[in-house]
Structure 1
């Protein structure tokens, strides 16, 4: 009989413990960052299929896919870009990983070099907000409103 009397107490205690553990686990998982992956980050196993001096553009596309972009001034340079961003709660988004792979091909389309750039190689570019001067004169608001009066015959 003593066992039956202590069962509701033990049950309440285990329910409280279970609820506490559940709340603690929920709080810990809420601290995980939101992760956003962008771009084309080739896997190491795919990159191993490519060899400098032997692989062609076709081989590179077959192994890791089409590039993120092709060089503006030289179409024999292909860029594969990827970025990982994390956001923690209400803090601003932070770039935690940034990688650019530059594949340089010769005129025949054979891979010559692969350059790797990471987050440390980034350069901050400041936006310059200026106005470009234009020729002509500036019209006042009154000239704009009443400028066409009398110009058109009826």
Structure 2
């Protein structure tokens, strides 16, 4: 009787644990896009101050040009313990001219996300390839020349 109860409890605990692994986690990160507000930004009419009042502070500004503002919204979904997968992404790029007026407003989606696959946890390099022992014993027997590092007194 005790064995049957124990087996039943173990089966219930196992079922709950498996159900927890099957949960999908959805998450939103970044800017919350309001289509009405983003369509209100007009080229040649708005400036940095009016865009900031309308859309708020940007997610980030351009690295090389502070006149590029980006508003990024990203939805992801993760299954159990796997890496999250992007399900939806919207980037609003507001470009300003040198005087601070809106020059262009562009909107892109997740199709521009680049997939980068590393190659076997190693970075390929050009040049000679040394083994462990070659690296370890490489300097044995080399003659130090004057002016080279490692020579004392000169």
Both proteins in one fold, TM over 0.5:
yes
Query: Secondary structure at 2:89's aligned position in 1?
Result: strand
Query: Secondary structure at 1:124's aligned position in 2?
Result: coil
Q: Which residue of 2 aligns with 1:86?
A: 77
Aligned residues: 122
Q: Can you give the 5+ residue segments of structure 2 that lack an aligned partner in the other structure?
A: 1-19, 126-134, 137-154
Q: Deviations over 1:13-51 (max 9, x none)?
A: xxxxxxxxxxxxxxxxx8773211111132112113311
Which 10-residue stretch deviates more, 39-48 or 87-96?
Answer: 87-96
Q: Which residue of 2 aligns with 1:51?
A: 42
Distance 1:69 1:92 in 2: 24
TM-score (structure 2 length as normaliser):
0.58
Q: Can you give the 5+ residue segments of structure 1 that lack an aligned partner in the other structure?
A: 1-29, 132-139, 142-154
Say whether 1:103 aligns with 2:94.
yes
Query: Once superposed, what is the RMSD of the aligned Cα atoms?
Result: 3.7
TM-score (structure 1 length as normaliser):
0.58
